[in-house]
Structure 1
Amino acid sequence: MDEETKDSGAPAAAPVRCACCGASADGRTPPATWLCSVENGSRRYFCEACARTHIRAVEGRLDSDLW
């Protein structure tokens, strides 16, 4: 079927940023080395450096506000 695709008009997604230090990922998706955490129903991403620094808190499932 030859159907034309139309632009949905939705704005392009912003680059992913680390919720701790503000570092941005290249592109629209986080690298595989970044950590994703769901806190209070929202997704938060953390860069590799921040995830390594706070690994004990991450493993203890503490919210990032308590780091």
Structure 2
Amino acid sequence: MTSLPGGDSAQPPDRPSLVCARCGTTVQELPLTWTCSVEGGVRRYFCENCARENIRAIEGRLDSDRW
């Protein structure tokens, strides 16, 4: 195992923050409570609060065989 200057182990490269598409809340790691949506080919993330507040709109976009 190789060591990097200033540390004993290799650190993963900095990842960009994830941003809630509705309220702008940012996180470094994706929480299990966040919701992901693909709209127009673009992946969008929604924080727990925004997902809870808008669950009917989110479910309304699902095909009926998914619920």
User: TM-score of the superposition, structure 2-length normalised?
Assistant: 0.67
2:25: which partner in 1? 23
Structure 2 distance, partners of 1:39, 1:33, is 19
Gap regions ≥5 residues in structure 1: 1-10, 63-67
Q: State the Cα distance separating 1:30 from its structure 2 match.
A: 1.3
- What's the C-alpha RMSD, in Å, of the aligned pairs? 1.9
Q: State the Cα distance separating 1:60 from its structure 2 match.
A: 0.4
1:40: which partner in 2? 40
Gap regions ≥5 residues in structure 2: 1-12, 63-67
Q: State the Cα distance separating 1:12 from its structure 2 match.
A: 4.2
1:9-43 Cα distance to aligned partner (Å, 9 max, x none): xx843100100000011x2x311100000000010
Larger radius of gyration: 2
2:60: which partner in 1? 60
More strand by share: 2
User: TM-score of the superposition, structure 1-length normalised?
Assistant: 0.67
Runs ≥4 residues deviating over 4 A: none
